[in-house]
A and B are shown apart, each in its own frame.
Chain A
Amino acid sequence: MSRTQSPARPADDLAVPAGRRDRIAEGSSLPRKLADFMQSGISVILGAVGANRQPVAGVALACRIKADGRVRLLLRRPANLALLEALAAGGAVAATFSRPHDHRSIQVKASRASIVPCRAEDLPELARQCAGMRDELVGAAYPPAFAAAYVAYEPSEIAAIELDADRAFVQTPGPGAGGEIVP
C-alpha cells in the first residue's frame, strides 16, 4: 500500500503567478496551469442549490476547457437529475477538482451554468480522463474493478454543462486551504 510521498500544499497553487501570459484566455480568470490540472483525468465533484435552498451534491467525469476559457463538464445525466434541474433553473454551481495521489484540490465557482448536449468530440477526451481517474484510484490502492465501476458510463447518458469560472479557490488540505487564487 502506498501513501503520498509528497502531498501537495495549498501554497503551491496560491503561488501561481498572476501574469497575463499564464491565463488560458483573455478575460478568463483561469491560469493555464489550473486549466491543465482540471483536465488531467482526476476527481470532479459538483455542488448546486435546488428548490427550497437544498444543496445537491454530484459527481462529474471529465472537464474540457475551451480556447475562450469556458469550462465544459461532462457528467452522467441519470446520476445527476436534481443537480441538472437546479442548474436549469438558473442556480449557481461549484466544482472541485482533486487529484487522489497528492490531494491537490481546486474549487471553481460560477454564478450560472448552461446545460448542453454532449458532442462526438467530447467522447475521446471523456474516455481519456476517465481512464486517468481510474488509474489514480488504482494507484491509491482501490481494487481495479471498483475503480473501473466508479468511472463507468454509457456515452448516450452523458450531458455537458458549461460555465465561466468566476472564482477559484485552493482546497488542498493544510495551512492556506480555502484561499482564493487571485485573478
Chain B
Amino acid sequence: MSAVTLEALRRSLEGIVPAVMATTDPDGTPNVSLISQVHYVDRDHVALSYQFFNKTRRNLLATRRASVVIVDPATAAQHRLALAHIETRTAGPLFESMKAKLAGIASHTGMEGVFRLLGADLFRVEQIETVPTLTLPEPGPARDLLSAVRRSCEELSAATELGELLDLALDCLARRFAIAHSMALVLDQDGGRLYTLASRGYASSGVGSEVALGEGVIGVAARERTPIRIGHMTSEYRYGAAVRDSARRSGLGWSHATEIPFPGLAAPASQIAVPILRGGRTIGVLFAESEEAMRFGYEDEDALALLAEHLGALIALLPPEDALAPLPAPEPSPPPAETVLTVRRYTADDSLFLGHDYLIKGVAGAILWRLLREYAQSGRTEFNTRELRLDRTLRLPEHAENLDARLVLLRKRLEERAAPVRIEKCGRGRFRLAIAARLILEEIGGAVAGPRLANT
C-alpha cells in the first residue's frame, strides 16, 4: 500500500512536464525515454498511449513492467510509479478518451491523421514512491468550484427555453468560474456539424459558425463524447511540432473554411470542450478557452462536466415550446416600409441571402424561407412552433431542442445582421415575424415566389 494516492497526483498527469519511462528487455537491458502522456484512469490505474512500435513497445510486450517518474508542474514534486502492464485496449471508453486527447493535440498542431493512437496501454499502479526533491509550496487556494457548480445549477434550473439556458450557462461561466471566453454549440445530427448558438467574450459572437465533427477540441469532444482539455497548449503544441515538421515535408496538408467566422481567441493557451449528452449521445458542446496557460485543470474539467451534465438534463426536460401554445391570435398590421429587401434562397443547401449577404443555411434556412413564403402569400406574421414541428418538408430531426436551437440561431443571426426581418417571441411556443421592408423572394434553382408589399 502506498501512502500517496494517484488521485492526489492528477496534476502530475496533465502532460505538462514530460514523464520519464524505463522498461527492460528480457535480457535485462533497460530503455529510457521521455513520454508526453500518462493518463489518469482511476485510483489504481494509469494508461500510456501506444503510438509507435518502438523499443519501449517491444519491451512492454516482452516483460510487461515499467517505471515512470512523473513531475508536478506546480511544485516540481516527483513520484516514481511501478507499473504492471495489464492489456492494450484498441476500443472502448478508455481508448476513446485517450484517442480524443491525442486527437486534440493533433488537431491543434495540424497533425490530424498523423498522430494516431494504436492502443491504450493500461497499467496497474503497484507502487507510488515519493522521490525526495526540493519542492515548491502548493499554489494558493483554487477557486471554489464546487460552490460555483452548485450556484450555477440553481440558476440554470430557472431557464425556460433553450436560448436562455445556454446564454445563462455562459453567464455563469463568466461570473462564477471567471471564464471570460466561452461558447455553447449544438450538434446538427444530420449534417455532422456543430453550430455556435451562444458565445461570450469575443469581438463578434460567431453565432451560426460551424465546427465539423472531429475538428478541433470541440469537434473531437463531440465525436468522442468525452471532455477534451489542453492545459498547456505550448507543451503539447511543441510536442506536435517535432513530428509535424516531418509530416509537412512529406506533403500533408490541412485546410479549414467556414462561412461565418469562428469567434475563438487568436492565441489561446488553454482550451476545454465538454460534451453535452442526452441518452449517451452528443447534443452539444460547452467550450471555454483562455490566453492563460494551464488555465483548466482536472478539477475544472470535473466542474464543467457536472455543469454540462446538468445542461443535458435540463435541455431534455425543457417543455416543448408548443406544449401549451394557443392558436395564433389575430395579427396586427405591420408598419409600412419603403426599404426593398431581396431574399434569395439557394435550393441546393437551403442557404439564404439577404441582398448579397449570406445569412444562414440548412434547416434554419428552410424554416425562415417557409415563414417568409407564407408571409408573402398571406401576409401572416404570427406562427407557432407546433406547426413547424409538424411540417415534414422541414425535415426536422427528433427532439424538441432541434427546432428550438434553429429558432434561437435565426433570431440571433437576424439581429446581428441588423436585418429588416426579425423573429420575436410573442408568447410560449409563439413567435412573430417583424418585417420592416418590402420583400422580394427569389429562389435559385427553383420556383420564384412573387414579391409582396410589407404593408398590405
- Which residues of chain A have a CB within 8 Å of any CB of chain B? 1-4, 6-9, 43, 45-49, 53-59, 76, 78-79, 82, 91-96, 98, 103, 105, 107, 109, 111, 140-142, 145-146, 149-150, 152, 171-175, 177-178
Please tell me if the beta carbons of B135 and A174 are within 8 angstroms of each other in the complex: no
Binds A, one of B237-245, B431-439, B448-456: B237-245
Please tell me if the beta carbons of B22 and A57 are within 8 angstroms of each other in the complex: yes
The number of A-B residue pairs with CB atoms under 8 Å apart is 143
B contact patch SS: mixed
Please tell me if the beta carbons of B31 and A47 are within 8 angstroms of each other in the complex: yes
Set of chain B residues within 8 Å of A173, measured between Cβ atoms: 239, 242-243
Please tell me if the beta carbons of A140 and B55 are within 8 angstroms of each other in the complex: no
Set of chain B residues within 8 Å of A178, measured between Cβ atoms: 54-55
Q: Known: A45-B34, A92-B29, A175-B246. Is A57-B20 also a contact (CB below 8 A)?
A: yes
Please tell me if the beta carbons of A57 and B238 are within 8 angstroms of each other in the complex: no
Set of chain B residues within 8 Å of A175, measured between Cβ atoms: 246
Please tell me if the beta carbons of A7 and B245 are within 8 angstroms of each other in the complex: yes
Separation of A172 and B34 alpha carbons in the complex (Å): 10
- Which residues of chain B have a CB within 8 Å of any CB of chain A? 17, 20-24, 28-34, 52, 54-55, 63, 65-69, 71, 73-76, 78, 80, 82, 129, 131-136, 233-235, 237-239, 241-243, 245-246, 269, 293
Please tell me if the beta carbons of B66 and A55 are within 8 angstroms of each other in the complex: yes
Q: Known: A58-B20, A59-B20. Is A7-B55 also a contact (CB below 8 A)?
A: no
Nearest B residue to A172 by beta-carbon distance? B242
Selected from B30, B71, B80, B239, the residue in CB contact (under 8 A) with A94 is B30
Nearest A residue to B69 by beta-carbon distance? A57
Please tell me if the beta carbons of B22 and A94 are within 8 angstroms of each other in the complex: yes
Please tell me if the beta carbons of B65 and A53 are within 8 angstroms of each other in the complex: yes
Separation of A96 and B17 alpha carbons in the complex (Å): 16
Separation of A96 and B35 alpha carbons in the complex (Å): 12
Please tell me if the beta carbons of A174 and B30 are within 8 angstroms of each other in the complex: no
Please tell me if the beta carbons of A48 and B76 are within 8 angstroms of each other in the complex: no
Separation of A9 and B30 alpha carbons in the complex (Å): 24
Set of chain A residues within 8 Å of B233, measured between Cβ atoms: 1
